[in-house]
Amino acid sequence: MGIFFNKRTQTFHLFNDNISYIMTVLPGGQMGQLYFGKKIHHREDFSYLLETAPRPMASYLFENDRTFSLEHIRQEYGVYGSTDYRSPAVDILQENGARICDFQYVDHMITPGKPKLAGLPATYTEEDSEADTLILILRDPVTGIRLQLLYTIFSGENAIARSAAFYNDGDKTVHLQKAMSLCMDLPDYNYDLMHFSGAWSRERHTKIRSLEMGIQSVGSMRGHSSHEHNPFVILKRKTADEFQGEAIGFSLVYSGNFLAQVEVDTHETTRVLLGIHPDWFDWKLEPESSFQTPEAVMFYTDQGLNHLSQTCHRLYQKRLARGYWRDKVRPILINNWEATYFNFTEDKLVEIASRAKECGVELFVLDDGWFGARRNDRAGLGDWTPALSLLPGGIKGIADKIEALGMKFGLWFEPEMVNMDSDLYRAHPDWILSTPNRSASHGRYQHVLDFSRPEVVDCIYQMMKRILSEAKISYIKWDMNRSITECYSAALPADRQGEVFHRYILGVYDLYERLTSQFPEILFESCASGGARFDPGMLYYAPQAWTSDDTDAVERLKIQYGSSYCYPLSSMGSHVSVCPNHQLNRTTPLYTRANVAYFGTFGYELDLNKLTEEEQEEVKEQIKFMKQYRELFQFGTFYRLSSPFENNVTAWMVVSEDKREAIVGWYRILNVVNEAFHRIPLKGLDPELCYHSLADGNSYYGDELMYAGLITSDSSAGETTPETEHSCDFDSRLYILKA
Ligand code: DGJ
């Protein structure tokens, strides 16, 4: 691995064993992009990769020259309006109304390891040998603004982390109106764009479309990364699939408004932009001040989408997530939300917890409704003091009772919100985001606290800290249940209102940072009405996230499958809930609900007392099983085998690092009469090892299972007989393989 700079040719080559990233200083001083992809030999001069040709109707930067048009040269950080007409990475409004800027190479630094990004979540290294970082220093000669582009190449991963920082070294204030984290120009457009889109309760469904000339994009303007789209897109070659072929993933380590945009120009080059959404973004950059963009990470593979995802999983599990829980298997929890909603007493909670304890559950989570006047969703948010009418001994009282049962105790918070019917709102009506002289829209009867104001963040921190210090709390579910509207801060002047969305997220990160460092052993699970903030920014503070409010096993197949393109199984909150399911009214077998939830952090979202004795016995077995295999589920290598978006059968598997253990999950949505015989070729096994299959008691070599395939047909392939009683809709099986 290394970062090489050739002084004569002014070329940078970043490479590790698998990937190369090459760029050069252009004749005009700008940075040009030459290559990103599979590793190629290092050489002194890559200038042959720079394509300059005279084109009719182009605009040219130099007098008496018809070759140098920025529009036709791939850029590292494109600007608009000075011979480049594509959508730019940056837009700076200057005091005189001008917007042109021209960032020219001045210098660079190469350092081992990876510097921190102040106040922002980012990937990190533990040893300097894990990565090298290149800091390119560019300057716009007219405004004096210094732009620093950071590139970190990881030694063991096909990943490059990037970000941009602006320093106003000039003497005039400017307004940064667009500052993307990443601009990546690719030499062709023979790609499909994959994005992960949906809505509440159907988050991160896989969508694929062919790249076309013009602009295609996904993004969020909701103040959170959103249920609707995820800050992760993939460009994959049209011939690539899960198991082979080239693809590049683009992931933004950020939880607020974002834009992921792909522009194909009519000369067939592709520009990817990823960063804070430029709509409503306007950062006032005074002399001597600076602005740091969030980090974006590019992942490369030439071995298919599973390989790409495995790289994301490793990097994000080990070098984005942090802290005490990063490498630990997660406690099996029970959450009272779907069991009681707001309708509970302390006795009821203890009853739920006691039965759960008998079944082997390790952590009891008290969800919404334990504080202030929060007896329904119209009141109390913001008042983080226990409701003594429900919990006579306060949080300490209930936590002690749960601990006495031999379980850990977890608690729900929604720190960023307030109901108008609350003491906090009555004391500080100006603490919500709302625009003067306009009505303030609500979502679920609640309003968004102005987290761009440090005093607001501090007030919530003090309330939470008191609760966390008084009682033994082992887990926090941090919820966020509405999008931002009428975004405006009463504390900021007119010319800084464009900063509010970003300052809000910085406030959220600040609160997370303070709480996670003050209480390092608490396990944080992020949540936003299910999966509206399932993003790498959150993963930095909370190593797991509530994947979706949809707990139906069939829906979860799609949600967890789509989420797995970027996020590791250890980050996916997944629970067994009651049937008929509360979101869909669907009834699925209890074993199928567990077979889906095992591929995540695992827990229950119901009152086990309401299950039959037979079902409770089944639950005990499930918990025993998960305790035995959770290391494999949560930290094994995950492969997608058959997609729920395309097939009646979904299949996926996890393999241990030493390849001696694997578990395949097989799920058939609708039963099929007189079905064909099916085999599924497995992945990631050792062809030389012989695996014992617990499902049929036979043994098979890894090569048989991978090349001939795992036989998944059962006797229902013929006709239904009493022996095929398991053959039903929403059927599933686990195949446990041990070398
Ligand atoms: C939305 C979450 O996703 C649910 O799990 C639950 O915590 C509710 N909020 C509580 O209001």
Q: Is the confidence at residue 724, as pLDDT, over 60? A: no
- Assess if residue 585 is contained within a domain: yes
pLDDT at 677: 87
- Torsion (CA) 205, 210, 216, 220 in degrees, nearest 10: 10
Q: Is the confidence at residue 416, as pLDDT, over 70? A: yes
- The finding on whether 370 has its CB within 6 A of some atom of ligand 1 is no
Same domain for 377 and 466? yes
- Assess if residue 393 is contained within a domain: yes
Interval 3-31 mean pLDDT: 97
Of the candidates 302, 421, 549, 550, the residue annotated as catalytic is: 549
pLDDT band of 720, cuts 50, 70, 90: low
Structure tokens at 594: 């567990």
Same domain for 364 and 417? yes
The count of domains in the chain is: 3
Of the candidates 102, 421, 450, 479, the residue annotated as catalytic is: 479
Question: Which 8-state DSSP code applies to residue 167?
Answer: E
**Strand residues in 60-173 grouped as ranges (E):** 90-93, 104-112, 131-139, 145-154, 159-168
- The finding on whether 525 has its CB within 6 A of some atom of ligand 1 is no
Same domain for 305 and 438? no
- 648 annotated ligand binder: no
Active site residue 265: no
Over residues 542-557, the pLDDT tens digits come to 999 999 999 999 999 9
pLDDT at 341: 98
- Assess if residue 328 is contained within a domain: no
Measured CA to CA, the distance from residue 644 to residue 663 in angstroms comes to 18
Helix (H, G, I), strand (E, B) or coil at 499: helix
> Quick check: 113 and 133 in contact, CB under 8 A?
yes
Q: Is the confidence at residue 512, as pLDDT, over 70? A: yes
- The finding on whether 550 has its CB within 6 A of some atom of ligand 1 is no
Q: Residue 724 sits in which domain range?
A: 649-738
CA distances from 617 to 83, 626, 706 (A): 71, 14, 35
Same domain for 294 and 425? no
Helix extents (H) in 583-643: 590-597, 613-635
Domain endpoint, select from 319, 350, 379: 319
Over residues 77-125, the pLDDT tens digits come to 999 999 999 999 999 999 999 999 999 999 999 999 999 999 999 999 9
pLDDT at 715: 59
pLDDT at 390: 97
**Gyration radius of the chain over CA positions:** 27
Same domain for 610 and 683? no
Tell me if the bond preceding 392 is cis, omega within 30° of 0. no
- The whole-model pTM stands at 0.98
Q: Is the confidence at residue 597, as pLDDT, over 70? A: yes
The Cα angle at residue 221 between residues 216 and 227, in degrees rounded to 5? 85
Amino acid identity for residue 589 in this structure: P
Same domain for 126 and 170? yes
Look at ligand 1, atom 1, and give the residue with the nearest C-alpha: 529
Q: Given ligand 1 and candidates 481, 548, 577, which is best to mutate, with the most ligand atoms within 8 Å of its CB?
A: 481
Closest by CA to 492, choosing from 438, 456, 458, is 456
Amino acid identity for residue 333 in this structure: L
**Strand residues in 630-730 grouped as ranges (E):** 637-642, 649-655, 661-668, 679-680, 690-693, 699-701, 710-711
- Range in 153-157, 202-206, 723-727 the model is least confident about: 723-727
Neighbours of 292 (CB within 10 A): 19
Domain endpoint, select from 565, 595, 628: 628
Percent of the chain past pLDDT 70, that is, above it, reads 98
Question: Do β-strands 408-413 and 363-366 pair in parallel, antiparallel, or remain unpaired?
Answer: parallel
- Assess if residue 148 is contained within a domain: yes
pLDDT at 368: 98
Question: Which 8-state DSSP code applies to residue 49?
Answer: G
Structure tokens at 309: 């995802």
Same domain for 223 and 180? yes
Measured CA to CA, the distance from residue 31 to residue 136 in angstroms comes to 9
- The finding on whether 573 has its CB within 6 A of some atom of ligand 1 is no
Question: Do β-strands 283-285 and 145-154 pair in parallel, antiparallel, or remain unpaired?
Answer: unpaired
504 CA → ligand 1 middle, Å: 21
Question: Which of ligand 1's atoms lies nearest the C-alpha of 412?
Answer: 7
Over residues 558-577, the pLDDT tens digits come to 999 999 999 999 999 999 99
Measured CA to CA, the distance from residue 537 to residue 366 in angstroms comes to 25
Same domain for 540 and 577? yes
480 CA → ligand 1 middle, Å: 8
Same domain for 604 and 480? yes
More confident: 185 or 55: 185
Kindly report the average pLDDT of the chain as a whole number. Answer: 96
Closest by CA to 511, choosing from 468, 473, 544, 470, is 468
pLDDT at 139: 98
Structure tokens at 590: 């209890």
Same domain for 313 and 371? no
pLDDT band of 242, cuts 50, 70, 90: very high
> Quick check: 416 and 376 in contact, CB under 8 A?
no
Q: Using N-to-C axis directions, what is the helix angle for 394-404 and 346-359, rounded to 10°? A: 30
Active site residue 17: no
Measured CA to CA, the distance from residue 411 to residue 467 in angstroms comes to 10
Max Cα–Cα distance, the chain, nearest Å? 87
Tell me if the bond preceding 580 is cis, omega within 30° of 0. yes
- The finding on whether 414 has its CB within 6 A of some atom of ligand 1 is no
22-57 as b/e, with b when 16 or more CB fall inside 10 Å? bbbbbbbebbbbbbbbeeeeeeeebeebeebeeeee
CATH of the domain at 159: 2.70.98.60
Look at ligand 1, atom 11, and give the residue with the nearest C-alpha: 368
pLDDT at 716: 60
CATH of the domain at 445: 3.20.20.70
Q: Is the confidence at residue 721, as pLDDT, over 70? A: no
pLDDT band of 696, cuts 50, 70, 90: confident
37 CA → ligand 1 middle, Å: 42
Contacts of 510 (CB under 8 A, 6+ apart): 119, 454, 457
Same domain for 595 and 679? no
Interval 324-342 mean pLDDT: 98
Domain endpoint, select from 293, 319, 345: 319
Amino acid identity for residue 41 in this structure: H
- Assess if residue 504 is contained within a domain: yes
Tell the burial category of 209 from Cβ atoms under 10 Å away from its Cβ (0-12, 13-18, 19+). Answer: exposed
Percent of the chain past pLDDT 90, that is, above it, reads 95
- 549 annotated ligand binder: yes
Same domain for 614 and 660? no
- The finding on whether 478 has its CB within 6 A of some atom of ligand 1 is no
Helix (H, G, I), strand (E, B) or coil at 288: coil
CATH of the domain at 670: 2.60.40.1180
- 480 annotated ligand binder: yes
- Range in 65-69, 231-235, 272-276, 414-418 the model is least confident about: 65-69
Measured CA to CA, the distance from residue 679 to residue 682 in angstroms comes to 9
- Assess if residue 399 is contained within a domain: yes
- Assess if residue 634 is contained within a domain: no
- Assess if residue 405 is contained within a domain: yes
pLDDT band of 726, cuts 50, 70, 90: low
Interval 585-596 mean pLDDT: 98
